[in-house]
C-alpha cells in the first residue's frame, strides 16, 4: 500500500516492471541511474524492457491514489 523503493534492481528490472503492471502502479513509477552524477538519468518505469539496467539503478513507485490528495512523481 505504501511507496516502494527498490535499490540495485537492474538485473530484475523486467520482473519488477511486471509486478508493478499487475498491481496498477507502473504508470506513476520512475527509475534512475547514476543519480547525482553528470550522467544521471531518470526515466518512466513504463519504459522498462528486458534489458538489464546499471547496477546502482533505483526505482520509486508511489502508492496508488484513488482520488483525493497527493500526486504523481
Say how many C-beta atoms besides its own lie within 10 A of residue 9's C-beta. 19
Q: What is the pLDDT of residue 4?
A: 93
- The share of the chain scoring above pLDDT 90, in percent, equals 70
- Residue boundaries of the structural domains of the chain: 4-61
Q: What is the pLDDT of residue 19?
A: 94
Q: Is the pLDDT of residue 10 over 80?
A: yes
Q: For 43-70, how does the pLDDT look when each residue is reduced to its tens digit (9 = 90+)?
A: 999 999 888 899 889 999 999 877 656 5
Average pLDDT, the chain: 89
Amino acid at each position: 500500500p505504501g511507496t516502494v523503493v527498490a535499490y540495485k534492481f537492474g538485473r530484475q528490472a523486467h520482473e519488477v516492471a511486471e509486478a508493478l503492471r499487475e498491481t496498477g502502479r507502473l504508470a506513476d513509477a520512475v527509475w534512475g541511474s547514476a543519480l547525482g552524477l553528470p550522467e544521471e538519468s531518470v526515466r518512466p518505469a513504463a519504459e522498462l524492457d528486458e534489458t538489464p539496467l546499471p547496477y546502482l539503478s533505483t526505482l520509486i513507485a508511489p502508492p496508488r491514489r484513488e482520488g483525493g490528495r497527493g500526486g504523481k512523481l
